[in-house]
Structure 1
């Protein structure tokens, strides 16, 4: 019963809460039990608030007993990435240089909306230091490991959120994506991961004018992702740059299907690393199923060009504030590759930044032209499968690049362009590779058409019988600690 509750989708949980056949307390207890069992092995969480989560679950139970839930996610176990603000908790960013004594006075906008809707916050999930790379290890919390195979990386930077989702240690799991940091770990762990159009999910504090970081969910199903979008896209006065609130129900029309949609399939985007053959075959099979469902699919060449040099410039510049003003004793406590990347950023000129900005503008223009002829762009999410957890890049990527470039993430070439162009993008599992590891398919659509990406993702999900990971406790037992909806004291 513990596993069944921990893997139950959010919309099914709230349905059962409404029927009073399952209690939020029972569900949160089951998830906390799994965290206690699996977190030491996989390292998903930096901190877990057992007492706070149980108290929130008891309050949720009382509301459901009165048939007065707060909102769409009342009583649903939820994790928050440790770069997002939660009122009353610290935010450490995977760094030994931040202080646990510094408690956040306010929630980030998406956290506030989740709280408004009754989500039960479990704790803070791990990331790489300052969220800068696409694997999850940090000087503060060590190495996080993929629950499909603990020798391998879960991806990053939202690796803790992906582990929590895949291992039944959280139903809704919030991540951030500045260069693939939601989509990559979602792909590596067999999950759905979404970054909406930039500005669709309000953010605070604001970031620099380079502006590439999106907040979004990692879940086990497309419907759960759509449900979360209904919550986190609601407005917040602190983000004056956010898109106007459209009050869309992302669940509505989710099963509309892809008949007549114009889909371009691209397997060599920009300067992306060559795709492993079994990944390409798995993705192509999923694309063929979209064609069988009535989509108008065409294999296309890359709609954007010359991405890596500009990416290196923008990425390095983005890291500079993370080391600025720090002495050597502090830098020695940080991730060495982050420091090296930021030092490269310190050497950039104004012309370097302008040139990269012009390249970025050209990608936006090229994508705008692409979407004159197509509704959807589909790509592999990653050209490689999960690799050794102790590495920043797969060996094949590092061997193919000069030594000075190995400080960057080298396998996210299908991902980072859409952070800089601000397009919505979703990854959805589309099968397994030859080693039995999950493969992700990325779906990109034009600005503000986030719902279309979800509709296509749902069609992929409906077209196959992909089985996500189901980690069982050593001795699964039906919980007898508390009957469903026992009267609260």
Structure 2
């Protein structure tokens, strides 16, 4: 692509932003979009989604971004398949962090249980009290990270774990560890509302999602469902149905979304691990805004059985965690083949090989697309990025300037794809669609203007972009970007009753994360400091398909770089006093 085309793409990226809407203005817009001919199509046209219509594509469609045939995309089986045993090699990196700034990790729980200092039952008794307080007016304002929790179910799991430890029959490193789950995944006994006011009311899931079963097999205690943006359709977790989750670092700011509650509960110390789903940055954005680690695995690496199908070709479940070891541990616990999900059957074995190879990075080549990375709104994000580049260079990593062609086309094609897939879901409950939050009604009305031809062209673009990305990874192991162009945006009181439309914030939040969803490659976000409001800054690494091991390795390096600069939220919003 020519430099002229690149400049054009960058200009488009900053255009087509609708005005900020909330309150009465938003309420008045909905009937215009839904009932007045031409209004919704005008908004669709004005978003820039028309770009693909005038461009001929000859490629075949790629409906699901699996790298097939594997040889064409350079996919190989890992040289060493290392799993849970790797944690015996653990480096004690958290000792450099002051005790009052340290996050509890899985190893803290297992050590406390095996030494009989405390039992899972005692931990969960305290945890339930903390959950209640975090969602009560006494918290002022409530964090609302948790959405559903069943005390009796938590205690039954805790009693079983305590019995296993008493008999020295632990199921593994996750036994007795509290884990929260986004309200997009089925958990036995819980209704899967997907952030809505009406879906599955009175119909609790009869069966656990595949990844929940995997966690329970390891003895993890599922403590309930976390809050999310309704239908996962934006990046803030502003949800008038279920309350708006707040950022523990500054409760006047959002915690991100759509897996906002999952990030909130980890950042506030309620649990060391949570599970989210990511169709357009929905794990990485809230992890970045809340100063924790989040992994979006490769498409098809984690089974989608039991996951509510929102953006079925772009979304994948994955872990959020307070530390990298826990992110790696939970990823390995849920990754792998599932006979009920054919997408998982093509993957090579998951591995954690190299997690602790952090001193010498001379085998790593990291790509930087400078023109892309400059599209941030806060210079402190750029400063954090440059600081990490310098630190990685000191350890031997080589940085290479790269170009990723057709990023703007990829952005538009991803939006058409995820938007069309969401609209098809809403088609299944049209009679109840009027119960959706107002912003989602606006989104559905607008994105429903995408035609079958638009969707087909988007999948042709996906074929092109996957090959573009594959070409980049023939030269580098990783791509480094900011996670978001902004830190956590402010919460306006006027937006709490009806929600809000703020496409400028949405565009800045998803600018760097969409590519991984659209192409199916894995990506990770790491905390990298704080802005002048003490809001966390995140950086993103992307790797080629199925190379989560390299992402976890560089996350471990990043954890060492941040060191004692890592901060916990203020004491008022810290609920990690469990051991």
TM-score, length-scaled by structure 1: 0.88
Corresponding residue of 1:239: 341
Shift of 1:454: 0.6
Which one has more relative contact order, counting CA pairs under 8 Å at least 6 apart?
2
Between the aligned partners of 1:212 and 1:364, the Cα distance in structure 2 is 13
Change (3 A) 1:30 1:294: farther
Shift of 1:474: 9.1
Change (3 A) 1:471 1:244: farther
Between the aligned partners of 1:363 and 1:245, the Cα distance in structure 2 is 21
Corresponding residue of 2:566: 467
Change (3 A) 1:311 1:32: same
- Equivalent positions of 1:20-419 (< 5 A) are 20-40=116-136, 41-205=142-306, 207=309, 211-244=313-346, 246-250=348-352, 252-257=353-358, 258-269=361-372, 273-302=375-404, 304-306=406-408, 307-324=410-427, 326=429, 330-390=432-492, 397=504, 409-419=507-517
The answer as to whether partners of 2:466 and 2:519 remain within 8 angstroms in 1 is yes
Change (3 A) 1:120 1:291: same
Bigger fraction of residues in helix? 2
Between the aligned partners of 2:464 and 2:455, the Cα distance in structure 1 is 14
Change (3 A) 1:356 1:109: same
The answer as to whether partners of 2:181 and 2:274 remain within 8 angstroms in 1 is yes
Corresponding residue of 2:74: none
Q: Deviations over 1:380-435 (max 9, x none)?
A: 0000011122468897926xxxxxxxxx6553010011101010100010111222
Q: Deviations over 1:303-347 (max 9, x none)?
A: 55223322331132122123326557x333212222222223332
Between the aligned partners of 1:464 and 1:478, the Cα distance in structure 2 is 23
SS of 2:135's partner is: helix
Shift of 1:106: 0.7
Between the aligned partners of 1:382 and 1:275, the Cα distance in structure 2 is 9
Shift of 1:128: 0.8
The answer as to whether partners of 2:270 and 2:575 remain within 8 angstroms in 1 is no
| Stretch of structure 1 that moved more, 233-242 or 351-360 | 233-242
The answer as to whether partners of 1:183 and 1:381 remain within 8 angstroms in 2 is yes
Tell me if 1:438 matches 2:536. yes
Change (3 A) 1:393 1:415: farther
Q: Deviations over 1:174-206 (max 9, x none)?
A: 000000000000000000000111111111147
TM-score, length-scaled by structure 2: 0.75
The answer as to whether partners of 1:197 and 1:424 remain within 8 angstroms in 2 is yes
Between the aligned partners of 1:125 and 1:216, the Cα distance in structure 2 is 14
Between the aligned partners of 1:474 and 1:276, the Cα distance in structure 2 is 26
Shift of 1:100: 2.9
Flag structure 1 segments of 5+ consecutive residues without an equivalent: 399-407, 485-489
Change (3 A) 1:475 1:387: closer
The answer as to whether partners of 1:166 and 1:189 remain within 8 angstroms in 2 is yes
Q: CA RMSD in A?
A: 2.7
The answer as to whether partners of 1:93 and 1:131 remain within 8 angstroms in 2 is yes
Tell me if 1:426 matches 2:532. no
Change (3 A) 1:15 1:394: farther
SS of 2:363's partner is: coil
Between the aligned partners of 2:120 and 2:306, the Cα distance in structure 1 is 32
Between the aligned partners of 2:149 and 2:169, the Cα distance in structure 1 is 27
Between the aligned partners of 1:368 and 1:80, the Cα distance in structure 2 is 33
SS of 1:217's partner is: strand
Flag structure 2 segments of 5+ consecutive residues without an equivalent: 1-98, 137-141
The answer as to whether partners of 2:295 and 2:318 remain within 8 angstroms in 1 is yes
Larger Rg: 2
SS of 1:464's partner is: helix
Between the aligned partners of 2:154 and 2:201, the Cα distance in structure 1 is 19
Between the aligned partners of 1:97 and 1:409, the Cα distance in structure 2 is 29
The answer as to whether partners of 2:404 and 2:472 remain within 8 angstroms in 1 is no
The answer as to whether partners of 1:34 and 1:473 remain within 8 angstroms in 2 is no
The answer as to whether partners of 2:439 and 2:501 remain within 8 angstroms in 1 is no
